[in-house]
């Protein structure tokens, strides 16, 4: 493979390390060199300790990851690096222990390269991170730094979190693979919670096979095998008007490509109850974010950025009765979610409205991703082309609750199929 090591996929790095073709130190140095060359522009990282990373790479621990470096969104607590949460009030804060998700990867031989930028408290106040391919455009958020660092070949994979669309959206905008597992599968201990009904640890990498490998580490099971042709449901929603023309066409082309490769593609009617999720999810999110921000609000409310202060104020206005009504409606929708898969194995829908928007004041529209986060279903996004500005377009694939392995099996097959016909 005549490429710099920082461009290798996780699975390629595992193979090369097993064969002794290069060392963990070689991989770390390649990543650090890329960061030094590019991060002044991209601003994906908020904390790095190159010497500690090198020291860890000299004596990598055993395990399937064999010293492969990764990025950690700066809302996960880490023992060796500060955890700032994108907030001035937490700048320089340190902890004695890693968050559980970080510890799982470290215990499997992973090496924490650094902390990646996040919107304040994983909310709506954007990080300084820029889109690697178009610095005037948002990379998405709130896992902004994780997606940008992976897309710019600074690190092979990174941890993110998703409360609405904070893994899938930045991965989609940056043209990499994002995965949000079924709610509750990955540990959240040591994570700054945003809304406990929705918060999910997620993964960002450059290939579906990489995600499958990492998922097997979290689930302590075998890696999913690449699947065969599937029954795919092409599902619209009440948000179709938000799609850019290029995205709608790309979804149709993707469906046609998969049908030509042997899949059965069925266009599904949009159930009426799906539209209610957007409204009720906003109520639950506001109420729970108010509670999650209570420690900071009591101690340093004046340090909140405007977007965070507005979120806190909205949540304060939501009563417990209103919150519980929304929770009950969402629970009913989750019970109905299984019916979405009658006659199909997975769903296909747009991951985002289109290309990453220009400007850095917003991280983009989260509503297309929020639907599946609210339903607790596993989702994965895959690049499916480029829009008129040359920026990535991505599709979102959704599976029934706890069918994560089948979803990743399908994603690997879809990824290969689309690449072969590109």
Q: Is 166 a catalytic residue?
A: yes
Rounded to an integer, what distance in angstroms lies between the CA atom of residue 421 and that of residue 372?
28
Residue 23 annotated in active site: no
Helix, strand or coil, per DSSP, at residue 388: coil
Q: In what order do the strands lie in the sheet with 231-235?
A: 45-48, 111-116, 69-73, 157-162, 200-205, 177-180, 379-386, 392-398, 346-350, 231-235, 264-268
Tell me which of 56, 144, 166, 182 is the catalytic residue.
166
Report the Cα 279 to chain-centroid distance in Å: 23
- Strands 379-386 and 264-268, by their bridges, are unpaired
CA–CA distance, 85 with 303 (Å, rounded to integer): 13
| Cross-strand bridge partners of residue 73 | 116
Specify the DSSP element, H or E, that contains 180.
Answer: strand 177-180
Name the catalytic one among 56, 108, 142, 409: 142
Whether residue 142 lies in the annotated active site = yes
SS3 113: strand
Start-to-end CA span in the chain (Å): 21
* 68 CA to centre of own chain: 19
Q: How far apart are CA 118 and CA 44, in angstroms?
A: 9
224 neighbors 408 (Cβ within 8 angstroms): yes
* CA distance linking residue 150 with residue 68, whole number of Å: 13
* Catalytically annotated residues: 73, 142, 166
């Amino acid at each position: 493979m005549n490429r710099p090591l920082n461009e290798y996929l996780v699975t390629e790095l595992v193979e090369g390390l097993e064969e002794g073709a290069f060392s963990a130190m070689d991989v770390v140095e390649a990543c650090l060199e890329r960061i030094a060359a590019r991060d002044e522009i991209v601003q994906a990282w908020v904390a790095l300790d190159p010497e500690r990373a090198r020291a860890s790479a000299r004596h990598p621990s055993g395990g399937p990851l064999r010293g492969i470096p990764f990025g950690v969104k700066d809302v996960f607590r880490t023992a060796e690096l500060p955890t700032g949460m994108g907030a001035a009030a937490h700048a320089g804060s340190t902890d004695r222990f890693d968050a559980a998700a970080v510890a799982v990867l470290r215990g499997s031989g992973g090496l924490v390269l650094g902390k990646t930028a996040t919107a304040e408290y994983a909310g709506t106040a954007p990080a300084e991170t820029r889109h690697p391919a178009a610095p005037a455009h948002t990379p998405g958020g709130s896992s902004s730094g994780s997606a940008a660092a992976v897309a710019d070949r600074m690190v092979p994979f990174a941890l993110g979190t998703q409360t609405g669309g904070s893994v899938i959206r930045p991965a989609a905008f940056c043209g990499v693979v994002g995965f949000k597992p079924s709610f509750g599968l990955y540990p959240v201990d040591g994570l700054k919670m945003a809304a406990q009904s929705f918060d999910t640890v997620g993964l960002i990498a450059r290939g579906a096979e990489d995600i499958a490998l990492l998922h097997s580490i979290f689930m302590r099971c075998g890696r999913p095998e690449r699947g065969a042709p599937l029954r795919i449901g092409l599902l619209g929603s009440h948000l179709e008007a938000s799609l850019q023309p290029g995205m709608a066409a790309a979804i149709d082309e993707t469906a046609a490509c998969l049908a030509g490769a042997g899949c059965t593609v069925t266009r599904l009617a949009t159930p009426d109850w799906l539209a209610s999720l957007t409204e009720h999810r906003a109520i639950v999110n506001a109420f729970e974010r108010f509670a999650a921000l209570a420690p900071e609000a009591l101690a340093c409310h004046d340090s909140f950025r405007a977007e965070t202060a507005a979120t806190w104020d909205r949540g304060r206005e939501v009563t417990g009765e209103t919150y519980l009504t929304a929770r009950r409606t969402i629970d009913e929708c989750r019970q109905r979610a299984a019916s979405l898969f009658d006659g199909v194995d997975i769903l296909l829908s747009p991951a985002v409205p289109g290309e990453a928007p220009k400007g850095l004041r917003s991280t983009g529209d989260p509503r297309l991703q929020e639907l599946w986060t609210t339903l607790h279903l596993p989702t994965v996004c895959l690049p499916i082309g480029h829009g008129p500005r040359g920026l990535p377009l991505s599709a979102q694939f959704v599976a029934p609750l706890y069918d994560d392995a089948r979803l990743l099996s399908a994603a690997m097959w879809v990824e290969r199929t689309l690449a072969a016909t590109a």
